[in-house]
Amino acid sequence: MRTYAISIITILILSFFTPVLALAQKKTAKATFAGGCYWCVEEVYDGLKGVISATSGFTTSRVEAVEIMYDPDKISYEKLLDLFWKNIDPTDSQGQFCDRGAQYTSAIFYHDEQQKTLAEKSKAAIETILKQKVVTPILPAAQFTPAKASQQDFYKKNKQQYKQYKIQCGREQRLRELWGGVQSLKPK
């Protein structure tokens, strides 16, 4: 009877902790990108297969950025970089689209040496593709502070206002001009 009770207790404990352990073992990584208005960058990554979360916020230098938690087994850092480049104007050092000033400049914030290497390689490829100097810096990640809850998922919560902002800002038009004919971000 005593062995039976211990077995039941063991099964109960294991059934409780197994999902917790599986969740703890799930591999996650972090990427941080600044591409002008954080609402627009968040929209690119939010809900993407392999992306666990995309959070709008600020770096220590008060640059608008998005911190992305992702599963590297489902989406690669290279794919995140490709999406980043195709959603910014990497030749503009004064901001992005209609948003001007230092807080709206583009940047890649790397979290380890591998990310740094991949970001530098992709930046060189972009310069080759565009045949222009890319001014987007590649910087070590610093402290990230999430924006207020009202600013998270703004593109979902305020669809009409967000759509008007994007149109008036000229973001999509400039992206088409810059990237319209580019199918691959790998130089030919």
Could you list the active site residues?
37
> How far is Cα 159 from Cα 28, in angstroms, rounded to an integer?
30
99 phi, psi to nearest 5 deg: -85, 115
CA distances to 63, 150, 152 from 40, in Å: 14, 15, 11
Which residues partner with 30 through β-bridges?
69
Dihedral (Cα; 100, 101, 107, 111), 10-degree rounding: -140
> How far is Cα 81 from Cα 119, in angstroms, rounded to an integer?
7
